Structure 1
Amino acid sequence: MKILEFVCHEGVQEMMLRQWLERGHEVYLTEAGKTWNNTYFEVPEGVIRERPSNPDLISVGSTPDLAKAVIHKIKHFHPGIPIVMVHHWFPSEKKLAGMFYRLATNITLTSYQRQCLLDIWNVESELIYCPIDADVFRPHDTEADPKLFLAIGNGFVPRLDMGWQNLVEIMAKVYEEDPKIHFQILGINPEIKPGDFPNVSTLSLKPGELPAHEAGARAIIFPTIRTLIPQSLIGAMSIEKTVVSFELDTVVDLLKEGRNGHLISCYDTDAFADRILELSRQPEDKALVSNARKDALGKCDHRVVADQLESVFNRLVG
């Protein structure tokens, strides 16, 4: 199958591009709204950096690129080429977005996102979860520091919805009880001043470096108040780490209280701080973290996701 992919989300696409090549597909990659800058991932060898006029299928990940894909196939007199729209963001509410969504087969990555697309545009979609590379995000034989908690913060331009205010409150409450707790914050959170707290540090890691570092933490915490693709959470579950998160609509598909992690009522910072303190005094729950990997990979292993997407592609191409 000749697949044309529009650059959208390097961290997700790199896995899928490798899968398509391994499965014998002819893969093309084109840039429109976004560019592939090789900061974290190289384009897999074998991917052709061209935009063919007559692919068997076009795959896009953003609403602007969906419009460009429609124009591309009309411009080249191939109106029958199927388009798959994998929603890496919340559905757009702009005036013409619904019209373009109806011209594609839509894939959503969480139940909440699927419902949003239905509520806003009355457009159905197929639910296929965000992939994680199970070979990279795997358990490590590393003894965890019971006082180390890794906070996955905002890795993008600072936004109010990423929850840094909650993290400040959580840390302040924890330090009232135990100043030896060490919070490491991964991401861009300039509002948080490490010097204002007893034991807070920040760090920047490439995705491939994250699993080994996470392995040394007692738990991975997610204070964010809004997320669409909980890829970092899926990764933490996949390496068998204890995960603590607010009970967000986009998280509850995967994270189940007491079975594979810990959910905190939104946005109860007292309860979040109490859970951190409890975990710092308790040994790791082996059954819980084993379930975390099992449940995450059952839905998100990149090979499982590739099987599901390939099934959609085959159905459309015929």
Structure 2
Amino acid sequence: MTGTEGSEPALRVAFAGTPDFAVPSLRALLEGPEGVVGVLTQPDRPAGRGRRLRPSPVKVAAEEAGVPVAQPAHLRGEAERAVLREWAPDLLVVTAYGLLLPPEVLHLPRLGCINVHASLLPAYRGAAPIQRAILDGAAETGVTIMQMEEGLDSGPMLLRRSRPIGPRETAGELHDALARLGSEALAEALERLRAGTLEAMPQDPDRATYAPKITKEEAELDWSRSAEELDRRVRAFNPWPVAHTGHRGERLRVWRSRPVAAVPDGTPGTVAAGANNLPLVACGEGGLLLEEVQPPGRKRMAGSAALHGGHLCPGERLGDPGPE
């Protein structure tokens, strides 16, 4: 559905997005009174063992709804922007598109471009706001609907919605919650836009912080750090790139953990049997219970199963370099 059947749409809206995070926002548009005239998404990418081309989640959702889809590799040239001109949108809604919008695109729609960003701006501008908030131990986060300009997530704020970060919440869980919250905030922002009550508030650049892209190298656990910090890393890197540690010359993935204050004496990285027969690893401060791990070549398993099956043994030390 692309607007109310049998009536003029409230606005002609184009949408730009690519991953799962963007799908709830697209669906919010499809269920509203706007007319979704087209969807921009990144080109299909090879995925899986066969490296077959796989469409983005946004492309799948758009095609299911019967909405035209375009997949330019970039938007720098007139030829790549031609489809957007043909759609003649009043507004372009952007959610995790992943491509830079040049000035020509930002100024093309009559009402400009708005973005659904997964943080409470001006905090955590950039590519990885969800993971960075967890890594920093932030108590809350949220979404911001923002008027786009040429700077990095620096445009005026139109609407913000906050939520607490749960003490055991992973990046994957927070991602899904913020995707839903973003779609709700987008629907509210568009309702206010139609009513003429949507007001823009400039960001305070002095309060801006940045959330650079996550790298695989960051996911290696340094056992000299505190258990609290390491637990945040485990949560922030679930489901990608997954926290890991060197073990028996290979790489042990840690999917879920829990910090504890008291641990047996031992060099950081030393394994002991902890509560509920879970592996307990000594850290620079406190200890980390490994609730779910994945030994090399194995499926994910409970930490107790890894200890019982000999994949981890009391007295051995984690952190030896794994394979490159």
Answer yes or no: same fold by TM over 0.5.
Answer: no
**TM-score normalized by structure 2?**
0.34
Structure whose alpha-carbon radius of gyration is higher: 2
Higher RCO by CA contacts (8 Å cutoff, separation 6 or greater):
1
**TM-score normalized by structure 1?**
0.35
